């Protein structure tokens, strides 16, 4: 029995999509959706956890910042798997996000201010291979997260 053949057959995911309203109680639905897809591809469990967390952070930021906690916004999560690369594209129609304006996290500052900001973005950048933002003003914002199966450990 050739294991390599088996593994290829197991990968059914080509493209999947999920749309939810911009409410924090939908975060677990998004996490489950991504968990199942990443598991189907065959990522090691620690890497699946990291991918799920990165996507949670992206969606949390969309709910809080793009939609400013307005619960009726739309979040679309699109998954692709091609050439060993798992790509998550998350689309919203809220306020465009300017990633350059988010400084790297500084815990000493948070300590004094009693709050945090930018942790999610730092986690996304740390946990994924690629994090890309695209905004088409008045149309949509998109964040792309990707992870390569070959380099994932």
Binding site for another protein (CB under 8 A): 24-25, 27-29, 31, 46, 49, 53, 56-57, 60, 63-64, 105, 107, 110-112, 114-116, 119-120, 122-123, 126
Q: Which is nearer to another protein, 41 or 120 (by Cβ)?
A: 120
Least spacing, CB of residue 14 vs another protein, in Å: 28
Q: Which is nearer to another protein, 122 or 140 (by Cβ)?
A: 122
Q: Which is nearer to another protein, 26 or 80 (by Cβ)?
A: 26
Least spacing, CB of residue 108 vs another protein, in Å: 8
Q: Which is nearer to another protein, 46 or 103 (by Cβ)?
A: 46
Q: CA–CA separation, 153 vs 135, rounded Å? A: 31
Residue-by-residue DSSP string for 109-136: HHHHHT---SHHHHHHHHHSSEEEEEEE
State phi, psi for 76 to the nearest 5 degrees: -115, 130
Least spacing, CB of residue 62 vs another protein, in Å: 11
Note whether 29 and 56 are within 8 A (CB): no
**Measured in whole angstroms, how far is the alpha carbon of residue 25 from the centre of its chain?**
16
Least spacing, CB of residue 117 vs another protein, in Å: 8
Least spacing, CB of residue 135 vs another protein, in Å: 22
State phi, psi for 91 to the nearest 5 degrees: -115, 135
Q: Which is nearer to another protein, 107 or 136 (by Cβ)?
A: 107
- Containing 90, the helix (H) or strand (E) segment is strand 85-92
**CA-based radius of gyration for the chain:** 16
């Amino acid at each position: 029995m050739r294991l390599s053949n088996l593994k290829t057959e197991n990968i059914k995911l080509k493209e999947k999509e999920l749309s939810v309203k911009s409410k924090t109680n939908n975060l677990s639905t998004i996490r489950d959706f991504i968990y199942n897809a990443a598991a189907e591809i065959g990522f090691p469990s620690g890497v699946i956890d990291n991918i799920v967390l990165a996507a949670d952070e992206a969606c949390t930021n969309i709910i809080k910042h793009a939609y400013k906690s307005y619960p009726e916004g739309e979040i679309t999560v699109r998954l692709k798997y091609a050439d060993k690369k798992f790509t998550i594209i998350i689309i919203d129609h809220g306020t465009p996000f300017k990633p350059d304006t988010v400084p790297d996290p500084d815990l000493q500052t948070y300590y004094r201010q009693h709050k945090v900001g930018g942790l999610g973005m730092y986690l996304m950048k740390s946990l994924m291979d690629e994090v890309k933002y695209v905004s088409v003003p008045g149309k949509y914002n998109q964040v792309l997260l990707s992870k390569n199966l070959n380099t994932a450990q």
